[in-house]
Amino acid sequence: MAFYVCGHLIWAPVAGAEGFLVFVSILPQKYFVEKIGRDLVNVSVMVPPGASAATYEPKPSQMRLLSKAKIYYAIGVPFERTWLKKIASSNPKMRVVHTDQGIEKRSLAIHHEKKPSEGGQPDEESHKQGLKDPHIWLSPPLVMVQARNILMALLDMDPTHQARYEANYEQFMMELMEIDAEIRGIFLGKKGMTFMVFHPSWGYFADAYGLKQIPIEMEGKDPKPAQMKALIKIAKEEAIKVIFVQPQFSTKRAEIIAKAIEGRIIPADPLAEDWASNLRKQARQIMTASGERH
């Protein structure tokens, strides 16, 4: 029997497959787990394409399917705060693995209004309180940590295939190192380069490659008029001509700023399933956007 959510196939048995069912919260995790588990696992994704990992509510069909799962890989996205206990209780035999274990999370930026004499710039680094940024899957060095957590759970659940899991893991680590080196090459000599986004998804990516993300939305809140004015000022000062927007959120505020700076908006989906291609694409887009400033 196949299972669908919002018209999207989230899981179907594979003819002749020996894999056991594993659940993940978001699509990029599917990429990671399949790289290590290969045909030994069948991966189902809780948040389907186009849905928000902040507000998603699991469907009854998904809750029923969880009864067949051996592992649930959590990652710390907002919907888990409400649903993870319910997910775990739906199948007491299922192991819940926190793939963010061992990762120190950065604080999400909050809007900080300065007086005009102070420049009016929201300063990420001056705020260490507030919500923690869940977007750890957008940094290859942090994915290496997550990959280890994924591997250890698979070895514990299915020790008879240890050699295969470990070989797959080593291949995946090589891929991650190659992607990391490639992106570092793209931004070589660009330390401190700024880019503007609507939703602050790319903070860990920026940290990894010496960039600075300037978000419009912070802690799930749209900017107030004074904050919009400050953001427009920053964009003009930084000669920013591109604002990256996430398809899971409204682009209205980003469009207002783009019009004010005579710029444009470009989609950048942090939840794309083809994680490697998406990350490479986003790196090139940020670099290209930098070149549009002059």
Model confidence pLDDT, tens digit, residues 208-257: 999 999 999 876 677 888 999 999 999 999 999 999 998 877 788 899 99
Cα gap 288→283, rounded to integer Å: 9
Mean pLDDT to the nearest integer, 34-63: 95
- What burial class does residue 59 get, using C-beta atoms within 10 Å of its C-beta: 0-12 exposed, 13-18 middle, 19+ buried? middle
Least confident of 80-89, 91-100, 103-112, 120-129: 120-129
Secondary structure in 3-state letters for the chain? CCEEECCEEEECCCCCCCCEEEEECCHHHHHHHHHHHHHHEEEEECCCCCCCCCCCCCCHHHHHHHHHCCEEEECCCCHHHHHHHHHHHCCCCCEEEECCCCCCCCECCCCCCCCHHHCCCCCHHHCCCCCECCCHHHCHHHHHHHHHHHHHHHHHHCHHHHHHHHHHHHHHHHHHHHHHHHHHHHCCCCCCCEEEECCCCCHHHHHHHCCEEEECCECCECCCHHHHHHHHHHHHHCCCCEEEECCCCCCHHHHHHHHHCCCEEEECCCCCCCHHHHHHHHHHHHHHHHHCCC
* Residue 173: C-alpha distances to residues 19, 40, 235 (Å): 22, 18, 37
pLDDT band at 118 (very low <50, low <70, confident <90, very high): very low
Q: Which amino acid belongs to residue 64? A: R
Mean pLDDT to the nearest integer, 107-116: 52
More confident residue, 121 or 272: 272
Residue 5's pLDDT is 52
Domain spanning 3-99+135-181: CATH superfamily: Nitrogenase molybdenum iron protein domain (3.40.50.1980)
pLDDT band at 9 (very low <50, low <70, confident <90, very high): low
pLDDT band at 169 (very low <50, low <70, confident <90, very high): very high
Residue 223's pLDDT is 84
- CA dihedral for 139, 140, 141, 144, sign (positive or negative): positive
Tell me the whole-structure pTM to 2 decimals. Answer: 0.86
Residue 14's pLDDT is 44
How confident is the prediction for the chain on average, in pLDDT?
87
pLDDT band at 108 (very low <50, low <70, confident <90, very high): confident
Residue 247's pLDDT is 82
Residue 120 predicted with pLDDT over 70: no
Residue 125 predicted with pLDDT over 70: no
What interhelical angle do 275-291 and 27-37 show, nearest 10?
130
Q: Where do you find CATH 3.40.50.1980 in the chain?
A: 3-99+135-181, 187-291
CATH class of the structural domain 187-291: alpha beta
Q: Which amino acid belongs to residue 21? A: L
